[in-house]
Amino acid sequence: MNGSQRTLLITLTGRDRPGVTSRLFGTLAGFPVKVADLEQVVIRGRLILGVLLSYDTATDIGQVLTAVERIAADLEMEVELSTGTGKKIAPNRRGRLHVTILGAPLLPAAIAGIAGRIAANGANIDRIERLSHYPVTTIEMDVSGADPDQLRAALAIEAAEQQVDVAVQRAGLHRRAKRLIVMDVDSTLIQGEVIELLAEHAGCLAEVAKVTEAAMKGELDFEGALRERVALLAGLDASAIDRVREQIVLSAGARTLVRTLKRLDYKFAIVSGGFTQVTDSLVEDLGIDYSAANTLEIVDGRLTGRVVGEVIDRAGKASALARFAAEAGIPISQTVAIGDGANDLDMLQAAGLGIAYNAKPVVRQAADTAVNVPYLDTILFLLGISREDVEAADAEDPQV
């Protein structure tokens, strides 16, 4: 912008009502000014509208000021007017990021701490928006001028101190593009572990649970742990699988998450160290696009204590993510992986965004971000989808 250009910042504040924006810009249309920036928010029925105009020094800005003050008086709103030189219009900053904060509750100290860390990293908060008020409060900040890895590390420390969840993601068009969501099943999509439910019917729950816990912490090789646990199920009547299917309880918010993402044309996949005899029913029930899991060997109506085919372990989950992405025609950078155990680590690290969901410490440390509340649909907020958007879509669908 050359030296003959100046700026006018208009800030209108007051009760929100229809027609405020159109009234202001209808009046501004009668003057030789250009819109350089614009932002509007409504909080509890109160409107804050900011407009940055540029104009040539030959323009009689006094007439513009008088016209805007008259509109503000007519609308019973407060107005602030500030003029400046064109040199003060900053170019769009590169490296824009979304910082998403989830808390239940979300306290002022958490916002203060996170904002302080952002400032300490030399970054600026350009915009703040609320995405949800239940089951958690979610605030999203648009941040510019920060290195994403450095900011993510700093905010992870603050999140732990404030007992909130914080995610840092790059902004841009890719966030609105079609994505592939790949999710673990046991203790993620569903509550509990299928193999432990089977073990309960087989009378060996304590032995199986002990091995499961060690495997999820990364203390045991997953494939060896799987075969050891399945061997304990040898002789169990296959009808127990039907009873286990009836016992399955989806995680809170699971249906909302899948339903909403499918409406947005996202592809949804599950990968499980569990068993196809259970995951196949989840695929049918939820309309899931892709799935991979282990298969229990059944002979003469009883479990043999073995699995058949390739084992879906830590490496197998990452391979499945890559395979599903290729089939869907979606780049790996546009994938989101969600899991809780050590056998999810490879796919969490391979995905464009890895989310540790109520995970073991080793997984939380390795993932891009962590969600530590028992509501699976909070994942939507990390993707920039608000609670109001979800409820509006549900209201339009009579089958929900």
Question: Which residues participate in catalysis according to the annotation?
Answer: 184, 186
Q: How would you classify the pairing of strands 33-43 and 78-85?
A: unpaired
Per DSSP, helices labelled H in 205-309 are 205-216, 222-231, 239-247, 254-263, 276-286
- List the alpha helices (DSSP H) in the chain: 20-28, 61-75, 108-120, 148-162, 194-202, 205-216, 222-231, 239-247, 254-263, 276-286, 314-328, 345-350, 361-366, 379-382, 387-396
Distance CA 286, CA 394 (A): 16
Residues 6+ apart with CB under 8 A from 383: 175, 179, 336
Return phi, psi of residue 365, to 5°.
-70, -30
Q: Residue 383: enclosing H or E segment and its boundaries?
A: none
Q: Which residue has the tokens 């941040």?
A: 143
Q: Which residues contact 312 (CB under 8 A, 6 or more apart)?
A: 271, 272, 273, 292, 293, 294, 320
Helix, coil or strand: residue 70: helix
Of 333, 315, 314, 335, nearest to 324 (Cα)? 335
Rounded to whole angstroms, the Cα distance separating 298 from 306 reads: 8
- β partners of residue 99: 141, 168
Give just the sign of the alpha carbon dihedral 368, 374, 380, 384. negative
First to last CA, the chain: 52
DSSP-assigned beta bridge partners for residue 169 = 98
Tokens encoding 186:
């046991």
